[in-house]
Amino acid sequence: MPRFAANLSMLFTEAPLPERFERAARAGFMAVEIQFPYETSAEELQQALFCNKLSLVLFNLPAGDWAAGERGIACHPERVDEFRQGIDPALAYAAALGVPQLNCLAGIRPPLVPADTARHVLVSNLRHAALRLKAHGLKLLIEPINTYDIPGFFLHGTRQALDLIEEVGADNLFLQYDVHHMQRMEGDLANTLAANIEKIGHIQIADNPGRHEPGTGEINFGFLFAHLDRIGYKEWVGCEYKPSSTTEAGLGWLKH
C-alpha cells in the first residue's frame, strides 16, 4: 500500500490550518502537504509538524493572486521577475519545514501570448528554479492540470510535461502526476504511470467526477494502489481531494 499524505488545503478544512495537523495525525496520516503555506508563519507550521510527528512533503511555489483566479505565473512573459523573486520565500519555508520538493504551477496562458512564447518563458523559469532548488538539495516538480477545471492552463498533459523536463535538462526536475487531472485529460492511468515512473516525483489522488475521495467515482483505486506497489513507486501519494461530506466521514477508503 502506498504512503499517503493529507493535503491540508483540501482536507480537514472545518478547522483552521494549524489545527488540521492534529486532525491529520489522529486520522493516521504520517505526512501532509499544503498548497500554499505563506499566510502562516514558518514557526507556527514547524511547531504543528513537530507536535504531531508529521512530515511536510510538498507545497507550491508562489503562484500569483490565487484569490483573483490566477493559477501560476511561470509561463507569463511580463512576470518573470515576480516568479523568480517568489523562489526566495519558498526556499526559506522549505528550509524551516524540511520539505524535500516544491511544485511549480505553469499558469494560464495569457490570451495575447503565443504558445511558443509561453513555452520559452516556462522553460527559462524552470531552468532558473531548478538550479536554485538544486543548491538546497530540493526537487522541483511540474504538474499538468486538466483544462475542464482550469480553462487555458498551459501545462495539461503528461507528454507535454515530459517534453518540458527533457528540454529543461535539470536532473532535479520531475513530474507531479495528479490522477484526477490526468483521468480527465487522458485516461490510461496505469500504463502512463508504469511507463514514466522514474520521472514521477509525486502523485496526487482524487476520484472523478467531482474530485472527491477515492471510491466516489469511476477510478479503480484498489487496483491503482496495488499497481503503484507493483511498479515500485516509493514516494508519497498526496490526498488532494474535496471531501464529499466531512473529511473524517470520507476516510473509509484509507482503511481498506
* Residues belonging to the active site: 143, 240
Q: Are 60 and 86 in contact (CB under 8 A)?
A: no
* SS3 assignment, position 255: helix
For the record, the C-alpha cell of 34 comes out as 499544503
Query: Is the bond leading into 209 cis (omega within 30 degrees of zero)?
Result: yes
Cross-strand pairs, 140: 102, 173
* 129 Cα distance to chain centroid: 16
Give residues with Cβ within 8 angstroms of 170, minimum separation 6: 126, 127, 130, 131, 134, 140
* SS3 assignment, position 221: helix
Report DSSP state, residue 197: G
What is the rounded distance in angstroms from the CA atom of residue 110 to the CA atom of residue 130?
A: 24
Q: Are 4 and 256 in contact (CB under 8 A)?
A: no
What is the rounded distance in angstroms from the CA atom of residue 105 to the CA atom of residue 200?
A: 16
What is the rounded distance in angstroms from the CA atom of residue 172 to the CA atom of residue 138?
A: 7
